Amino acid sequence: MQAQALSESERVKEWARQFERDGFLALRGYFPADEIDRAIAATDETLRTRAAEVVVDDLAINERTFLATARDPQNGRFKYNDLYLLLEELRSLALAPELSALLTCMLGGRTPVLCYSLTFVHGSGQPIHIDSLYMTPKTQSHLLATWIALEDVHPDAGPLVYYPRQPQDPSLPVQRWNASRKPGGDGAMVGLHSRRDGPARHPRRNVSGAERRLVHLALRSGAWWQ
């Protein structure tokens, strides 16, 4: 006799348990390919036609400006800030019903609020850091982050570097922890993490695998991420 498929609520609770146990959760193939394609197309169109509305951080000179007034809008390395404010396609990804149910479960029943987003064409190349130092939530232990890969993850496409299962004791020096370096498809955006540089933009037209449809979750717990 085959086991019955889990209901949505049971599946969400199981995901939450996995995250609590492992310190990360990767949902492979979570988004349909056509939904990812729509988000990519909408993003590309917005960067082309609404550059005066897109706020960017220029990673080369550490300057925040609008894409239209950036030094090199076509070839620069940017963080694109809060595109969810402009694009329903990105809001639909971030607030997907079952994903929202999972975040609600992790927040103890409180409704998650989408408050910030970053979009990258190239990996940021940032050194190891903790997001909560820059985005401290008003309520302790109530900051959640999702990482959605819109293309295949490989060593030349800015994979995530992270420290899994971090201890709760913030007095432990970073140097004593053993770093794990894996492609973003196998990792999670937990406390100490960074994004590696990608030498060139990965051709989106060739992206078709499930790797690009991963969702990674991270839950801040106490002074550090869990």
- The verdict on residue 2 lying in a domain is no
Phi, psi of 172 (to 5 degrees): -70, 130
Question: Closest Cα to residue 168, out of 226, 128, 219?
Answer: 226
Check residue 94 and give its pLDDT.
92
Check residue 147 and give its pLDDT.
82
Check residue 187 and give its pLDDT.
29
Bridge partners for 119 per DSSP: 80
Asked whether the beta carbons of 120 and 80 are under 8 A apart, the reply is yes
- The verdict on residue 92 lying in a domain is yes
CA–CA separation, 97 vs 221, rounded Å? 24
Phi, psi of 129 (to 5 degrees): -155, 175
As a whole number of angstroms, the longest Cα–Cα distance in the chain is: 64
Residue 221, token pair as written in the block = 């717990």
Domain of 94, in residue numbers = 8-225
- The verdict on residue 3 lying in a domain is no
Say what the pTM is. 0.71
- The verdict on residue 1 lying in a domain is no
Check residue 143 and give its pLDDT.
78
Distances (CA, A) of 54 to 51, 69, 72, 85, 86: 5, 10, 14, 10, 9
CA–CA separation, 57 vs 76, rounded Å? 10
* CATH number for position 77: 2.60.120.620
Residue 118, token pair as written in the block = 């970053």
Number of compact structural domains in the chain:
1
H/E run at residue 45: helix 33-49
Cα three-residue angle 36-39-41, rounded to 5 degrees = 110
Asked whether the beta carbons of 205 and 147 are under 8 A apart, the reply is no
In the predicted model, residues of the chain with pLDDT beneath 70 are: 1-5, 129, 131-134, 157-226
- The verdict on residue 141 lying in a domain is yes
Check residue 66 and give its pLDDT.
97
Asked whether the beta carbons of 149 and 214 are under 8 A apart, the reply is yes
CA–CA separation, 18 vs 215, rounded Å? 14
